[in-house]
Amino acid sequence: MPMDVIVIGGGIVGLATSYRLLQRFPDTKLLLLEKEEQLAMHQTGHNSGVLHSGIYYKPGSLKAANCRVGKLAMEEFCQEHDIPFEICGKVIVALDERELLGIQKIYERGQANGVTCEIIGKERLREIEPHAAGIRAIHVPEAGIVDYRQVALKLGALITAAGGRILCGCEVTGISERSSETIVQTTGGAFPARLVVNCAGLHSDRVLRMTDLRPEAQIVPFRGEYYELRAEQHHLCRHLIYPVPDPSFPFLGVHFTRMIGGGVECGPNAVLAFAREGYTKSDVHLGDLLESLTYPGFVRMAFKHWRTGCGEMWRSFSKDAFVKALRRLMPEIRKEHLVAAPAGVRAQALTRSGALVDDFLIQEKGKVVHVGNAPSPAATASLNIGNVIVDKLEPMLRVVARAK
């Protein structure tokens, strides 16, 4: 008997989708396939753990809509399942007069998206974050922190308890159509399914290419490198301190993030990773690297943004340069306050014309739904992204239920 639904990818998006599916259609025969031996080994287990408020995103975008509703759902989920989280608030600081317009624009987006936030002056900023630089800031009291790996593992346990099956160590290698079924080939054998959902993160474009769809964009892996404050310096950052981001990039710039498990993370930069899962400089996969370097979209982007790219790479090799970037936000920071911390790799979709895809991208064809771009704030938004995908599957799930 075929599975009703196969979900590919045991990161937070695949898990949240499976969880929502079983909540809304409890009789569904669901199988989740994950290539690693454990869940949440990639983006979900290597992120900053911020519950984003939704302040940055273009009103009407999928990011804006999903982040607002998803964040509330995530808080409720954590409360219900005793997962620690904290609504600690954050500040986005303007460092000089030139950044005031940027602050105003972000504030207006926040207002349009229904985010509780206010513009504050220097004195109030010093009360909230005594060690942050800045002449003006936006205070976002509703931003928070959580451990998304913990959320993902809880989702996994709930899926299994609801009758879903999770198979780790099982990599999807091919997808083919056979009359009413889709056959998902894996390293652990072939599984027939009526419907398939691709939530493969850093490999989502490759899984998409296994079907007869052509990806709208290719995933290019960008490594984000971090330092951590030494314990004696934790007091320098009370909550979350962010700069005004460069509007040409979907990255937020180096910032200070207090983590739910303790400690303060500083970073990240954004450099091309030489492997889809290249967490260190020495992780090189020749095929992955060539695929990025020969992709016309990457070449066009590199040509346009070479200056920024060089700056990011310089920060990757020079701790002094990284410290200099951090000192703009917090002048007291010195090199000896920082120790290297684990990096994360972002799955960033890039179009052939060289544009970084900013919004979430969900494509569907026939019986397969693909999540083609789920960058930050997709962890915050995951429980709502799951609902959006189940909405797409709903008509087909009703047909499946009738055929049983």
Note whether 361 and 371 are within 8 A (CB).
Answer: yes
Q: Which residue number places its CB atom closest to ligand FAD?
A: 11
Binders of ligand FAD in range 131-190 (CB under 6 A) = 171-172
211 lines the binding site for ligand FAD (CB under 6 A): no
207 makes contact with ligand FAD (CB under 6 A) = yes
Report residue 174 as tokens. Answer: 């091919």
For ligand FAD, the binding residues in 38-67 under the rule CB under 6 A are 41-44, 46-50, 52
Query: Whole-angstrom Cα distance, residue 345 to residue 270?
Result: 9
Which stretch, 109-117, 197-205, 281-289, 305-313, contacts ligand FAD (CB under 6 A)? 197-205
Cβ-based nearer residue to ligand FAD, 136 or 217: 217
The residue among 160, 148, 166, 174 whose CA lies nearest residue 83 is: 148
Single out the segment in contact with ligand FAD by CB under 6 A; choices: 199-207, 232-240, 310-318, 348-356: 199-207
Is 86:51 a contact under the CB 8 Å cutoff?
no
Cα–Cα dist 239/118, whole Å:
16
> How far apart are the C-alpha atoms of 349 and 373, rounded to whole Å?
6
How far is the C-alpha of 360 from the C-alpha of 380, rounded, in Å?
A: 13
Using the rule CB under 6 A, which residue among 89, 164, 201, 253 binds ligand FAD? 201
> Looking at residue 214, what DSSP letter applies?
P
Single out the residue of 108, 12, 93 nearest to residue 57, CA to CA. 108
Which of 120, 345 has the CB closer to ligand FAD?
345
Check residue 35 for interaction with ligand FAD (CB under 6 A).
Answer: yes
Contact pick of 3, 4, 14, 125 for ligand FAD (by CB under 6 A): 14
What is the Cα–Cα distance from 215 to 219, expressed in whole angstroms?
Answer: 9
- SS3 at position 90: strand
Q: What residues numbered 236-275 form the site for ligand FAD, per CB under 6 A? A: 268
Given the rule CB under 6 A, which of 29-37, 95-103, 104-112, 286-294 is the region that contacts ligand FAD? Answer: 29-37
Beta strands 30-34; 136-140: pairing state: unpaired
By the rule CB under 6 A, 205 interacts with ligand FAD? no
Lay out the site mask for ligand FAD across 366-385 (x = CB under 6 A, - = otherwise): --------xxxxxxx-----
Residue with Cβ nearer ligand FAD (345 or 356):
345
SS3 call for 97:
helix
Distances (CA, A) of 64 to 53, 89, 115, 147, 374: 9, 18, 10, 21, 13
Q: Which stretch binds ligand FAD (CB under 6 A): 9-17, 120-128, 304-312, 389-397?
A: 9-17
Asked whether position 34 contacts ligand FAD by CB under 6 A, the answer is: yes
Instruction: Give the one residue of 2, 3, 10, 256 binding ligand FAD; rule: CB under 6 A.
Output: 10
Total residues in contact with ligand FAD, by rule CB under 6 A = 41
Bridge partners for 8 per DSSP: 33, 198
H/E run at residue 309: helix 306-317
- Binding residues for ligand FAD (CB under 6 A): 8-14, 33-36, 41-44, 46-50, 52, 171-172, 199-203, 207, 224, 268, 344-346, 374-380
